[in-house]
């Protein structure tokens, strides 16, 4: 994709992906789902997850899977409020950009 993905948009995408699973989801699955929209490496994704956790938008817990611990991420109430704000801003922003880029 030729357009850069800023931190706020990346946060919005990650929060949206994680919010799909009410019980939480794990890093590899998040990476795969985010890659459906944008090209992202795991080395880019994990700092985003840590930042969202630090900002109290995500909670983290570990569960055993196949004899190993797997780290899960779940959206908090603060994260849901932030996601609602991102979605509202995205509708307004993308509508304006689409109007400008529309061919006549």
Q: What is the mean pLDDT of the chain?
A: 93
Q: In sequence order, what E strands does 1-104 have?
A: 25-26, 58-65, 68-75
Domain positions in the chain are 7-101
- Residue 1 pLDDT: 60
- Identify the residue with better confidence: 34 or 104: 34
User: In this structure, which topology does domain 7-101 adopt according to CATH?
Assistant: Arc Repressor Mutant, subunit A (1.10.10)
What is the arithmetic mean of pLDDT over 52-65?
95
Q: Could you give the C-alpha distances from 84 to 29, 62, 72, 81, in angstroms and in order?
A: 22, 27, 22, 5
pLDDT of residue 2: 63
Residue 5 is predicted with a pLDDT of: 78
In the structure, how many helices (H) and strands (E) does the chain have? 4, 3
8 Å CB contact between 79 and 101: no
Residue where the block lists tokens 């699973």: 21
Identify the weakest region by mean pLDDT among 59-63, 73-77, 99-103: 99-103
**pLDDT score, position 104:** 66
Predicted local distance difference test score (pLDDT) of residue 71: 95
Residue 40 makes CB contacts below 8 A (sequence gap 6+) with 5, 10, 31, 34
């Amino acid at each position: 994709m030729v357009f850069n993905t800023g931190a706020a948009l990346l946060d919005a995408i990650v929060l949206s992906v994680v919010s799909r699973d009410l019980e939480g989801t794990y890093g590899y699955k998040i990476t795969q789902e985010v890659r459906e929209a944008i090209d992202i490496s795991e080395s880019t994704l994990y700092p985003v997850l840590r930042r969202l956790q630090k900002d109290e938008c995500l909670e983290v817990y570990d569960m055993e899977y196949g004899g190993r611990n797997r780290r899960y991420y779940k959206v908090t109430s603060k994260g849901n409020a932030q996601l609602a704000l991102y979605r509202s801003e995205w509708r307004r922003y993308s509508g304006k950009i689409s109007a400008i880029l529309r061919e006549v």
